[in-house]
């Protein structure tokens, strides 16, 4: 007999959380360590307390909740994130974080005897305001104080200042590494964030692999001048180089392969006056491919193009790359287990890769990791319209509950 979550409680929790950080456009802005993110963390910790769970928070804000158990015994971990992109949706991250908590509550209510504890996790800054998959990267590989001191957010603010403003101790930022022995397996429920499941009428996605992620800032430097009096031929306008680079992104992605994507979601011009030719323009880039060699080619081709357009427009350029996150295959045994439980719950399932990045790709470096996808209405995500039907959220949480129990009892074979 399959176990099921308390669908009403899960929905009520997600709806309560979905009011935190909601703006006038209906979008949710809970960027990492903002007031809204801190409020969401408070909400989560209080839900854990109500369920009798203790929550441990590491130096960078990763939260691990559980009902005790032998701290030395490897535990089954499940969770996701509470932070969002600016003006994002109520389901990205929240579904997996709250469903993991719901599963831990249901396991306690059912009094299921476990061989190893199940822990619910919230990763800090999954959306990478300060660094891609910041919290899970800090957990599995750690950062030095020097690296952390260099990290700045999209508003130019320093991570260490954001941590201090949140009332936390920046001196503890490096206290994050988890021993690989502490994690038996990791499972994450997430919305698909794309159109495939809905279009196929399939209820569950069994994630086979996660795309590789790269990022960089291409900074162009020219000369500030008067917008009315400086002849067009006498300018060193870095905005033209930026525009040229951005316009070339589709061609570069196509030259690398059919799955390659490259995006500029942000341009910053200095000093930022409509009647001033800027002296500095920063182009923030995100590029991805499921294949490691293609990811490297994307990075090389975009950076070469940045240098080329800078020369063509008589400005200079600097390429500031982010740490790359490698493409990741998820554990075959976990994939089989997810597919089997979907079938037992009479849910249709399909194997699929993920084009979005997830903390599971970091967790996969220290433990067997698996991911369950549920459909996204209209394939929309990272926008206020993001939605997943409540029945789909429940389906995904039911699959998660059953695999967590199997992992914590029989285990992987």
Binding interface with ligand GLV (CB under 6 A): 127, 356-357
Least Å from the CB of residue 95 to ligand GLV: 13
Residues 6+ apart with CB under 8 A from 199: 379
Report the residue number, 299 or 398, with the smaller CB distance to ligand GLV: 299
Report the residue number, 127 or 392, with the smaller CB distance to ligand GLV: 127
Helix (H) or strand (E) holding 286: strand 280-289
Least Å from the CB of residue 315 to ligand GLV: 29
**Residue 188 interaction partner, one of ligand GLV, Mn ion, none, beta carbon < 5-8 Å per kind:** none
Report the residue number, 86 or 357, with the smaller CB distance to ligand GLV: 357
**Residue 205 interaction partner, one of Mn ion, ligand GLV, none, beta carbon < 5-8 Å per kind:** none
Look at the alpha carbons of 110, 91, 116, 413 in this order and tell me if their dihedral is positive or negative: positive
Residue 189 to residue 98: CA distance in whole angstroms = 10
* Chain positions contacting Mn ion, by CB under 5 A: 92-93
Least Å from the CB of residue 374 to Mn ion: 13
For residues 266 and 154, the answer to whether their CB atoms sit within 8 Å is yes
Report the residue number, 93 or 238, with the smaller CB distance to Mn ion: 93
Q: Could you tell me the end-to-end alpha-carbon distance of the chain, in angstroms, rounded to an integer?
A: 20
Report the residue number, 97 or 245, with the smaller CB distance to Mn ion: 97
Q: Which residue minimizes CB distance to ligand GLV?
A: 356
For residues 227 and 276, the answer to whether their CB atoms sit within 8 Å is yes
Look at the alpha carbons of 363, 364, 370, 376 in this order and tell me if their dihedral is positive or negative: positive
Q: Which residues pair with 185 in a beta bridge?
A: 76
Least Å from the CB of residue 128 to ligand GLV: 7
Least Å from the CB of residue 129 to Mn ion: 11
Least Å from the CB of residue 211 to ligand GLV: 8
Of 54, 79, 58, nearest to 67 by C-alpha is: 54
Least Å from the CB of residue 127 to ligand GLV: 6
**Residue 357 interaction partner, one of ligand GLV, Mn ion, none, beta carbon < 5-8 Å per kind:** ligand GLV
Residue 357 to residue 123: CA distance in whole angstroms = 13
| Token pair listed for 37 | 């993110």
**Residue 37 interaction partner, one of Mn ion, ligand GLV, none, beta carbon < 5-8 Å per kind:** none
**Residue 259 interaction partner, one of ligand GLV, Mn ion, none, beta carbon < 5-8 Å per kind:** none
Residue 365 to residue 32: CA distance in whole angstroms = 23
Report the residue number, 37 or 127, with the smaller CB distance to ligand GLV: 127
Report the residue number, 277 or 298, with the smaller CB distance to ligand GLV: 298
Residue pointed to by tokens 């919290």: 135
| Token pair listed for 185 | 């397996």
């Amino acid at each position: 007999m399959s176990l099921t979550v308390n669908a009403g409680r899960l929905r009520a929790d997600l709806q309560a959380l979905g009011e935190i950080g909601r703006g006038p456009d209906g979008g949710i802005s809970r960027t990492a360590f903002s007031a809204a993110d801190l409020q969401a963390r408070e909400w989560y910790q209080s839900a854990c307390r109500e369920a009798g769970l203790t929550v441990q928070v590491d130096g960078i804000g990763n939260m691990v909740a559980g009902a005790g158990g032998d701290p030395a015994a490897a535990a089954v971990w499940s969770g996701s994130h509470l932070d969002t992109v600016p003006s994002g949706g109520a389901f990205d991250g929240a579904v997996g974080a709250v469903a993991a908590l719901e599963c831990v509550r249901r396991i306690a209510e059912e009094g299921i005897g476990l061989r190893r504890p199940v822990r619910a996790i919230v990763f800090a800054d999954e959306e990478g305001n300060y660094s891609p998959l910041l919290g899970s990267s800090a957990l599995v590989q750690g950062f030095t104080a020097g690296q952390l001191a260099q990290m700045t957010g999209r508003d130019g603010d320093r991570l260490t200042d954001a941590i201090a403003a949140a009332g936390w101790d920046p001196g503890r930022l490096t206290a994050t590494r988890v021993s690989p022995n502490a994690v038996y397996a990791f499972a994450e429920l997430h919305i698909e964030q794309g159109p495939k499941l809905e279009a196929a009428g399939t209820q569950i996605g069994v994630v086979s692999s996660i795309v590789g992620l790269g990022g960089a800032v291409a900074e162009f430097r020219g000369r500030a001048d008067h917008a009315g009096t400086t002849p067009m031929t006498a300018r060193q306008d870095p905005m033209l180089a930026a525009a040229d680079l951005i316009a070339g992104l589709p061609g570069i992605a196509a030259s690398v392969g059919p799955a390659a994507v490259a995006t500029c979601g942000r341009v910053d011009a200095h000093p930022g006056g409509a009647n001033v030719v800027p002296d500095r323009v920063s182009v923030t880039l995100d590029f991805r491919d499921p294949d490691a060699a293609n990811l490297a080619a994307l990075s090389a081709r975009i950076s070469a193009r940045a240098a080329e357009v800078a020369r063509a427009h008589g400005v200079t350029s600097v390429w500031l790359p982010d740490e790359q996150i490698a493409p990741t295959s998820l554990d075959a045994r976990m994939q089989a287990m997810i597919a089997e439980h979907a079938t037992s719950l009479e849910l249709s399932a399909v194997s699929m890769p993920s084009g979005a990045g997830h903390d599971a790709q970091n967790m996969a470096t220290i433990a067997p990791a698996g991911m369950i996808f549920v459909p996204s209405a209209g394939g929309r995500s990272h926008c206020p319209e993001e939605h997943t039907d409540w029945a789909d959220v429940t389906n995904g949480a039911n699959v998660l509950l059953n695999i967590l129990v199997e992992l914590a009892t029989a285990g992987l074979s």
